[in-house]
Each structure stands twice: as C-alpha cells, then as structure tokens.
Structure 1
Amino acid sequence: MKVLLIGGTGTISQAVTEQLLTQECELYLLNRGTRNHMLPFPVKEIIADINQEEALVSEKIENLSFDVVVNFIGYEKIQVERDYRLFHDKTKQYIYISSASVYQKPLLNYIVNEDTPLGNLYWEYARKKIVCEAYLMERFRKDGFPVTIIRPSHTYDERKLPVALHGRDGGWQTIKRMLDGKPVLVHGDGMSLWTVTHSKDLARGIIGLMGNSSAIGEAVQITSDECLTWNQIYAMIAKALKVPLQTIHIASQSLVQCSKFDFRGSLIGDKANSVVFDNRKLKRLVPGFKAEIPFEKGIRETVSYMLSHEECQTEDERFDKWCDRVILSLESALIMIEKKKINMKDL
C-alpha cells in the first residue's frame, strides 16, 4: 500500500507513521521536515509547504499517485478544497481527520454515534470541522471523491497529558502543581463522563480503515471504550506521579467567565459534557479492533516519559498564577459565607 500522510509527526499522526513503518507500506510524509528527525525509521519525505499549491503540484507530486492520502492538519474549508484539487485524481482514498467535538452541543443523548446530529454552538474549531466534513461529503456525492472521515475524541500520547484545563503550553503545569503539593482545578463536580484514547489505539483504527472500500463515503468515530469521570482521570495522573491528589471543583461556566483562556469551546462545547462513545460502526468496518491501552497503564507511560524528558517540561507561569487566583477567590468567598452564617445565627 502506498500512503501519503499530510503531517505525520503530531500526537495522532506520529503513531500512525510509526505503525505503518513496521508494515509493508510505501510511506510518504508531506510536511516542512522540522520534526521528521524524531521518527524511529526513515521515511520518504516530501519537504514542502502544502499551502504552496502550485509549486507542490508542479515540483513535488506531479508524477505521484497514492492508494491512501491522510490529512491530519485540515482545519479550514479552503484547506480541504485545496486537497480536492491536489488529490482527486491521485488517490483511491482520502482520509480526513475531523473531531468528535462536531457532535451536537448541548447533547440530547449522552450516547454518541455517527448518527448523532452535528452542531456546536460553543466552539468555532468544531464548526469549522463540520464545514470541512460537509464539503468533502458533497464532493463524494457529486464527484465520487473517495473520502473517509474520522472523528477522534480526546487523544494523548507519551508527550501529551490529557487534562481538561491547561494554558497555552500544554499540561506540564498540572503535573508540576501536583508535584509541588498544590491543588488542581477540576471543572464541575468532576463526575461528568469522558473518554481519553491513546494515540497508538487510535492509529490502529485509522490504519484498519485504510484501503477499506466499505469506509468510502463514511464518517467513523474512533475512541477507547473506557469511560471515566474527570475525578478518576486526575486521580490516575496523581497515582502515576505517586503523590496525593488535591482538587478544587469549580463550575464550568464560572471557569469560562473568570478566565482569559479560551475555555468556552473546550469545556462547554466539549469536555464538560458527559459522553459515551458507541464504536460499533468502527468494529463492523475493522473486525477485531479493540482499544488495548487502558488509561491507567497509558498515563503511567506518559508521566514517566514527561518526567524524564526536559523538552516536555514547559512551565506555564501565567496558567499557574491564574489557578492560584481562582482558588484564593473561592476560599475568600467561602470564608465570607461562613461569616454570614455565623452572623445570621446571632439574630
């Protein structure tokens, strides 16, 4: 199988790259080449900016065709329109990595499958993915463009900590707060249901759909079947760190209102919702598929890797100070409430 990955070194795409390199696959990566040195095996590189469409066609892929093209970095309609122009006659299957955040928010049913209506009032990222999906499916219906849409949810690997709240520099600051004995913020009461999926499991699902004619014209979600509360997720992170867990629970809407960070989409439009993913469609298309890495095992590997690799330990002072201010404000408010209760008893 001859495969082109657009990207190839991100959280999801690197796992796909590494697994394909162990199989009988002629693998090409189309990217700028800045992170290809991180891959364990050499690949066939097409070093280019995919946004430079004319130069790419004339110089890099003019005489190439593929069994499968996968785009991991398509966020705008103009990007998938470009891909259609580039690859409509150069591939037997085009796989677009969308997102499970496209599903209707607020949800009418916490059990989610591919028939759940699309629509997210709270997150522009999700709405753009919906637009991209709609364009690609229109090209399938009108022109026979062989598209498969994949909807992953919250995905992590050894370099990415799957937390609900973080600043611009990722999840390391949550680990540092735990190690320093400081409390961490958890949205709501921490009891909403969520699913986190290891990138290696997601990659096996994506690869199972490659070259699968039954997946053409279909949208398929790929997640673990494990369903955890956010309290359990944070508790497992603390357990992997071998430290006690201290949590402060704050209403999701309050976190959105008191933060300069963009939590409205990622919380109200995604992680604050209880969701259980129904993966029967994937298992029908890829018989024998099963997510094999339980979160408790996967997070131990993530924590171990991040603790031993300084490049993963980017501190985020702005996020840390914000957490401290929110916690201090809550504690002050609780003291005031207690004082008022005492005063009321004196009346």
Structure 2
Amino acid sequence: MHAAVVHSFDAPPRFDTIETPRLRDEHEVLVDVLAAGLHPRVRSSANGSHYTSEGVLPLVPGIDAVGRTEQGELLYFVAPDTALGTMAEQAVVDRRRAITLPTDTDPVTVAAAMNPGMSSWVALRRRVTLPPGASVLVLGATGNAGQLAVQIAKHLGAAHVVAAGRDAERLDLLPGLGADETVSLLGEPKEVADRLGRSAGDADVVIDYLWGRAAEHAMPALLTARPERAKPLAWIQIGSMAGAEIALPSSLLRAANLQIMGSGQGSVTTAGILTELPSLATEITSGTLAVNPLALPLSQVEQAWNTPTAPGQRIVLTPR
C-alpha cells in the first residue's frame, strides 16, 4: 500500500510503498484511512524530537486518524507509539483506542480538530475542575491547539478567558472565538509580565502551551499581581513551544498557592483520554468549535510538510 514514509529525521516524509499491516489479535481491525491530521506532535515524531521517539527508521508518521472498516463503520482512533502511524492508505486500529462516529461525520473536520482540541478538553475535564465563575489564561493561544483551548474553556464554563500569544494576526481573531481579553507576548519581558499580571492576575487556571522563558516570566507576574496569594492557581503544562525547561525559584512555591501539573500521555490514562473523546467529537461535528482544515492528498505529503497555513488552519492528509 502507499504511505508517507520517514527515511531520515532531517527530511520530510516521502510518498512510498510499504507492506499492508496485518492484524495481530482480536482487538484489532483494518481500516481504510480517510483523513489524518498533520499535527505538531506528528512533526516531532517525524523528526525524532518527541519524548516518546525511539529513533526507529523508517517510520510512517501520524498519531490519529479517521478510518472506515470493511463493514462501513466510521472510527476515530489513536495510534500506539510505534513506527507504523496513520498516514497511509490503511491502518490497523486497536478497538480499545477508538470511538465510533456517526456515519455522516466529516472525516476531515474531525481529523483536523480532535488532536489539538483534546489537549485542553482533557486537561479541563481530567486534570482540574473549573470553579464557578472561573478565569482561565491560555498561554500560547495563537497556535491551533491554543485557539481551540480558548473556545473549549469558554464552552466548559469559564466566565473569563484571557488569550496570550505572539502572533498579532491570530490574536486579533480570538475575541470572536470567546476570548474576553487578549495579551501580546511581544516586547520586553517586563512589559509583557506587566500586561499578563493586569489581565490574568486573578486566573484560576493557566493552560500553558509554551513553557520555557515565557512561563518563567509569566509565573511570577501572575502571582505577584494576585489579590489573594493563597487562592489556588492550577498551572497545566501541555506544550513546550518556547522551551523544554524553566528555572523555578523555590520561593515562588512558598509565596503563593501554585499547583503545577502536566496533561498528556502518562499523566492521563489512555482509557481516561478515550472516555473524553466522544463528547469532544460531538462538539466538533456540531459546529460548536470553529475548525478550519486544509485537505491535501497523501501523495503530496512532501509538499504538505512545508505548506504554509492560514491562522487557525490545520493540514489534513486524505487518500486523494
């Protein structure tokens, strides 16, 4: 069968042929892949930088997809961490890592939004409980996952959502998607910190897609501006677009009620993540969440890897 194949971590995948995968046990089913999203997580697997990467080549990228069984059942599924991903004409699905979708579901829309959407959906449903009237800061709101996080936080009951990011064009879109305030992360660190403190000093939850220096400056800014230091601040670490590490002064943890946690593979069980997916799929397919997919054929995977996207757009590979 045809597939996108990574032969080198220094180059995009190539459209190539591989053996059709075979079923190994009673939990597995073979599907025709209808749509697979080109997520940042896919790119990091394909270049070997993701923390789950074992350096095995060649590999087929892709961590999730929508596929149809021989019987016509439509499935959204999450692939295991192996060298055989979802960007292929067919894929083996473990039914324990899949959910059934309505037959009239648009596969491209679901493939575009489930992965970026589940990061904040799972975080706000499994890692914390939003208090009534909650205020949420999305740090890194101008990425696709951050843009969906703004919408999801509002949908799940946040009374006030602050969206912070560097991309001015994308930041301008966020009030129309539910952001009550926006904060630019461009400028001198002290100026940025002051802006964050004024807008999000009373936040109950931070959804952090950045980490690195951005988090280093934001944490003390928020806690210093906090009217009541003992009020809990749940900092949910999801991504590391600004760096994999931070310097965290011990005094910061003593001087305020800061609760740092992660949300992702390992911090939430696979079963817990899958439990949340049907309700997220419902919100995606109903139009509650704004999704902007760009469908490209699998045969153009090399070009797709470097295709620029518009604000909020996600590339999805389809069979043709």
Q: TM-score range by the shorter chain?
A: 0.3 to 0.5
The higher radius of gyration belongs to 1
| Higher strand fraction (1 or 2) | 2
Q: TM-score normalized by structure 1?
A: 0.34
| Higher helix fraction (1 or 2) | 1
